[in-house]
Chains A and B, each alone.
Chain A
Amino acid sequence: QQPVQSPQAVILREGEDAVINCSSSKALYSVHWYRQKHGEAPIFLMILLKGGEQKGHDKISASFNEKKQQSSLYLTASQLSYSGTYFCGTDSGGSNYKLTFGKGTLLTVNP
C-alpha cells in the first residue's frame, strides 16, 4: 500500500518553514525521506527507525509516530536549495527488502 503524502505541492518564500506529512495504512518499521531535484537522481535525507528518536540534518528534521504510522518532515528557514520533490519511503520490515514510496510533494522555494 502506497503511503499518502500531503500536501501534494507547496510554495514558499525563502526563510519560511514547511511541513510534509507521510501516512501509511500499514504498520511501519522505518520511514525514509528522499529529495529529488528536476532531472536528477533522488538523494537520501534520513531514515527514522521504529523506536528511534527524531532526526535532524541542518535545518531539516523529521519525526516518526509509530502508533499513528505517520512521519513528518520539517524544513526550517527554507533555502532556495531546498526546492525539489520530497518522497517518503516506508518499510514494513520482515525482510521485505523494498521501500514503498509516496507520490511525492513538490516544494518550490522562491526568493
Chain B
Amino acid sequence: DTAVSQTPKYLVTQMGNDKSIKCEQNLGHDTMYWYKQDSKKFLKIMFSYNNKELIINETVPNRFSPKSPDKAHLNLHINSLELGDSAVYFCASSPEGKLGGNTIYFGEGSWLTVV
C-alpha cells in the first residue's frame, strides 16, 4: 500500500538519450510535484500540478517535460540527457486546502546517472 510510488528507482543512461520517470499516488491528493536533489543534497522544486493543471514551473530546461494524465499520475520525460542531469528525482504529493498544512509526501526517489 505504497502512498507515492515512482519507477524506475535506478536509471543509468548515456548522454543524448531520452528517458521517462513515472509516478503514481494513491492518497487521493490533488497536487503533485517533481523535485530534483543534486549531489550537494539541495532539494529544488521543478514542477507542480494541481488536478492535472500545471501550476508551478521553475526555471527548468525545456528538455524536461512533465505530463499529468490524471490527478493520481505525474510523469517526467527528459530529452537529450546531459551529464548535469544526474541527480535524484523525487515525486511528491500533497492534499488540497490548509488543514494539515499541505504536508508533502515523497516517493522513494529515482536515481538517474547520465554517463
On whether the two chains bind one another, the answer is: no
Which A residues are within 8 Å of any B CB, using their own CB? none
